[in-house]
Structure 1
Amino acid sequence: MNIKRNIIFALESRRRDGVLITINLPIRMRVIFANQRIEFTTGYRIDAAKWDAAKQQVKKGCTNKLKQSASEINADLLRLCTEIQNIFKEFEVKNEFPTTERIKETFNARIKDATDRKDAAKEPNVSFWEAFEEFVKESGRLNNWTKATYEKFAAMKNHLNEFRNTLSFDTFTENGLNDYVDFLQSDKDMRNSTIGKQISFLKWFLRWSYKKGYSQNAAYDSFKPKLKNTPKKVIFLTPEELNKLKTYQIPPTKQYLERVRDVFLFCCFSGLRYSDVYNLKRSDIKQDHIEITTIKTADSLIIELNDHSKAILDKYKDVHFEKHKALPVISNQKMNDYLKELGELAEINDPVRETYYKGNERIDTVTPKYALLGTHTGRRTFICNALALGIPPQVVMKWTGHSDYKAMKPYIDIADETKANAMTKFNNM
């Protein structure tokens, strides 16, 4: 008997908010025979740009996010292909036509046996928390984590400790993962969007542990909890609100707000993050532009100055600040508090409606805009207003350091909405 079959390795197609994802995609093995198809996960991921679709393998010299090389991944893909071929040959020798279930069961059993033998030889003896500490240390160094990222994983560690007194990798089966989602919903009272982030952090750690050989539990790979979500509201100032804030006469008793306003307006007219304006040195300022290497992503950016941003820099050019800083930037927390105070005084109080979910419960809130102001509002204001002015997204991305269109899409949608609303002004002519 000869069983015709076709074995294909391909990247899984994924979309988020209608945009095709091209990074860190799972490599799937597809087996087709007798007009039937079986899908297998390989346990590997790779960027689309590093995948050779014609040869069905990772391009030479490339590595994935986990630093696994093309030769390592391709060798294992060949091993999986060989195992499937051997299974079909065994059925052919027995003159028996298999069902998809038999193929899948046999293959999974063989791979598990091979993995068990490999793991027995390694005999890793690393506990869940030992692995976690190693993960934070290694990933933090390799990915140049910021202080904020370390704090996120410290918070995640606290949540895990509260979830169970004793944790092991075997805790996080599909049921265990669902129990953790329930814990975050009921005990921690988290929004679905926050739970989604916590699960993505946990899966990152579990994936790393699996690749290291510390864990043999791969339930995380197929775990995708159904959490209702709505797009996060982009809080920014319209040109009218920006001018209102800029021209507001600050009371003599609240002069401490003047410098806060200047720094915030500089972000609104340059697109800088708080961390970058905090780190901005006088040496970064040239005649008509600034040159910086961003703190968060280490991108080297050249950002041209306009009349507004240049006027703010000129205002402080002869004022001495420690460490040769260009602007009087205070702590992020204090600045966020003062911005809300300033926004309230300037009557930036248009109601903002936000919708979010906790479990299946939809919650709608209405908040005055000033209460939602923060340092990052400046960067969002710059992007939204730049796009609304008709500046091409690819130009804005060069100023902000955004590397892909996906990150810009929410802002582009707002610019399109602003453009559509502007057209209605012709109705009054």
Structure 2
Amino acid sequence: MKTNLSLLFFLKKPKNYKDGAPRFIYLRITVDGQRAELSAGREIEPDRWNAKAGKAVGTKEETKTLNTFLNKFKSDVSAVHTQMVAEGAEITAERVKLRYLGKDEPAPSHTILEAIKDHNIKIEALVGQDYAKGTLKRFQVLERHIGGYIQHQYKKDDLDVKKIDRAFIANFDFYLRNEKKNANNTAIKYLKNFGKIVRICVDNKWLESDPFVGYKLKSKPVQRDFLTSDELRRISLKMFVTERLTQVRDFFLFSCFTGLSYVDVKKLKPSDIIVGVDGSRWINIYRQKTGTRVPVPLLSVAEAILDKYKDHPVCIANDICLPISSNQKMNEYLVEVAELSGVKKTLGNRVAKRTFATTVTLCNGVPIESVSKMLGHTNLRTTQIYAQLLDEKLAIDMAPLKELFKNIPVQANAATEQNALAEQTLKAFLQILYPNASEQQVTSQIHLLKESLLQAV
């Protein structure tokens, strides 16, 4: 913390002072306009003192010795101030004085792993209330990665939080990618989590500024699988010889037709099924991850699955809707379900949620705002990640447009004003039809439409 320091010696009158008698020499410490006084433990006659220069006058050896002492005294106080600045301590005139006298405790140092552990203890106490277990697990893994990085880079067990700077972050980024073999998006997630720890340190005044400011954390787009209507049909119609695989398939289908996460399905109770505003059965719960209310009208497939297991012994004994294994076991069994159903995709809850968002809802004309509410998202942009445009949906939506423009003559390789106007009209229509589509998607669809029109003529 930068502060303005001023040091000046002056003479102070003792009680019952007599003119001409020696006065005590004091050092006035001024920090940002605030003052504190510190005795030098020396005295001098007023006529031998230069008040403006703050030192003794004369050529005698005694005078030179006193001034040397005063210069050293001032230098020591100044060094205390410099040390406090380096520590990032709160600096006042009184604290500089106390630190010099040995009565001010230095600001306690805090370590990086201490900050993460403290954060994780608080998160663990709130699991099930404000946080999910997955959140705690991610920060516990971050703690291990940071510990490993400090050992690898600095050969130490821990470091003071003040060692966190841009170089520390950049080298940790490299460590995650090179030593831990993390993919870009995985490394970015750990860095973002670490950024939260750093911001807490800044808020606690353990760090003067946030070194993450200006550091670019850019995730790369990834292919997010979901099931097509044909793949969903194959899984639905497949007959399994074991009850184990049948139950797992039913759980997966229930997620596909409700959009609920594993944990929300696992804790779903019969009392969570209500009669909705339309007179049919709805799911009415609060998502564990975000705490937002999730109203989901039950489709016939989901209703049939609930009715199938309403008298199951496990469901009755535990007051739940579906008999569900652990998430790890579910994922293992879903590998078998996919293979036996002839689906070449890795099934899981995320695939189920994306299937609900695309194939089940958006592809059938459900507005994205309604889909977002059923998924329990607090931000529409989160839903847009799930809401990928399907080719069959594009074909259905573009059919009226093709009919509208089928009589417009188009000449290949002719850059006429008519063609330019037609292309602008097409682009504007597509942007209205698909407000969330990217520029590349719109351009690609215009190109395909041109080719089909050329073939028609």
User: What's the CA shift for 1:293?
Assistant: 1.7
1:316 match: 309
> Which residue type is aligned with residue 123 of structure 1?
A
C-alpha distance in structure 2 between counterparts of 1:238 and 1:181, whole Å: 37
Residue pairs, 1:79-228, within 5 angstroms: 116=88, 118=90, 123-139=107-123, 144-165=130-151, 166=156, 167-216=159-208, 218-224=210-216
- Aligned in 2, Cα 1:416/1:398: closer, same or farther, shift over 3 Å? same
Contact 1:278 1:329 in 2 (8 A): yes
Give TM-score, length-normalised by structure 2: 0.59
User: What's the CA shift for 1:170?
Assistant: 3.2
Query: Secondary structure, in 3 states, of the residue corresponding to 1:302?
Result: strand
> Which residue type is aligned with residue 364 of structure 2?
L
2:325 match: 330
Contact 2:113 2:146 in 1 (8 A): no
Contact 1:282 1:326 in 2 (8 A): yes
| Structure with more contact order per residue of length (Cα contacts < 8 Å, sep ≥ 6) | 1
Query: Secondary structure, in 3 states, of the residue corresponding to 2:285?
Result: strand
1:295 match: 288
Query: Secondary structure, in 3 states, of the residue corresponding to 1:152?
Result: helix
2:300 match: 307
Contact 1:169 1:217 in 2 (8 A): no
- Aligned in 2, Cα 1:119/1:407: closer, same or farther, shift over 3 Å? farther
- Aligned in 2, Cα 1:212/1:325: closer, same or farther, shift over 3 Å? same
Selected match of 1:256 from 229, 233, 244: 244
- Aligned in 2, Cα 1:119/1:400: closer, same or farther, shift over 3 Å? farther
Could you list the per-position Cα deviations for residues 147-194 of structure 1 after superposition, in whole angstroms to 9, with x for gaps in the alignment? 111111111111111111332223321112111111111110110111
Selected match of 1:397 from 350, 367, 372: 372
1:376 match: 350
Report the structure number with the largest CA radius of gyration.
Answer: 2
Query: Secondary structure, in 3 states, of the residue corresponding to 2:213?
Result: helix
Give TM-score, length-normalised by structure 1: 0.63
Contact 1:285 1:291 in 2 (8 A): yes
User: What's the CA shift for 1:203?
Assistant: 0.9
User: What's the CA shift for 1:113?
Assistant: 6.6
- Aligned in 2, Cα 1:249/1:216: closer, same or farther, shift over 3 Å? same
User: What's the CA shift for 1:390?
Assistant: 0.9
C-alpha distance in structure 2 between counterparts of 1:264 and 1:188, whole Å: 32
User: What's the CA shift for 1:343?
Assistant: 0.4
C-alpha distance in structure 1 between counterparts of 2:90 and 2:123, whole Å: 25
Query: Secondary structure, in 3 states, of the residue corresponding to 1:290?
Result: strand
User: What's the CA shift for 1:195?
Assistant: 0.8
1:282 match: 270
Aligned residue pair count:
292
> Which residue type is aligned with residue 204 of structure 1?
K
Stretch of structure 1 that moved more, 280-289 or 392-401 = 280-289
User: What's the CA shift for 1:230?
Assistant: 3.0
- Aligned in 2, Cα 1:263/1:407: closer, same or farther, shift over 3 Å? same
Contact 1:172 1:220 in 2 (8 A): no
Q: Percent identity over the alignment?
A: 28
C-alpha distance in structure 1 between counterparts of 2:261 and 2:206, whole Å: 38
C-alpha distance in structure 1 between counterparts of 2:114 and 2:143, whole Å: 12
Could you list the per-position Cα deviations for residues 314-355 of structure 1 after superposition, in whole angstroms to 9, with x for gaps in the alignment? 111122324211101111111011111110111012xxxxxx
C-alpha distance in structure 2 between counterparts of 1:338 and 1:283, whole Å: 29
- Aligned in 2, Cα 1:224/1:119: closer, same or farther, shift over 3 Å? farther
**Structure showing the higher strand proportion among its residues:** 1
Query: Secondary structure, in 3 states, of the residue corresponding to 1:303?
Result: strand
Contact 1:281 1:326 in 2 (8 A): yes
Structure 1: which 5+ residue stretches go unaligned?
A: 1-111, 350-368
Contact 1:124 1:214 in 2 (8 A): no
1:7 match: none
Contact 2:85 2:91 in 1 (8 A): no
Point out 4+ residue stretches in structure 1 off by more than 3 angstroms: 112-117, 119-122, 138-143, 421-429
Could you list the per-position Cα deviations for residues 110-163 of structure 1 after superposition, in whole angstroms to 9, with x for gaps in the alignment? xx9799452786824333222222222335557822111111111111111111
> Which residue type is aligned with residue 160 of structure 1?
I
Could you list the per-position Cα deviations for residues 391-422 of structure 1 after superposition, in whole angstroms to 9, with x for gaps in the alignment? 0011112211111121112233x236542245
Two-structure CA RMSD over aligned residues (Å): 2.7
Structure 2: which 5+ residue stretches go unaligned?
A: 1-83, 96-105, 276-280, 403-451
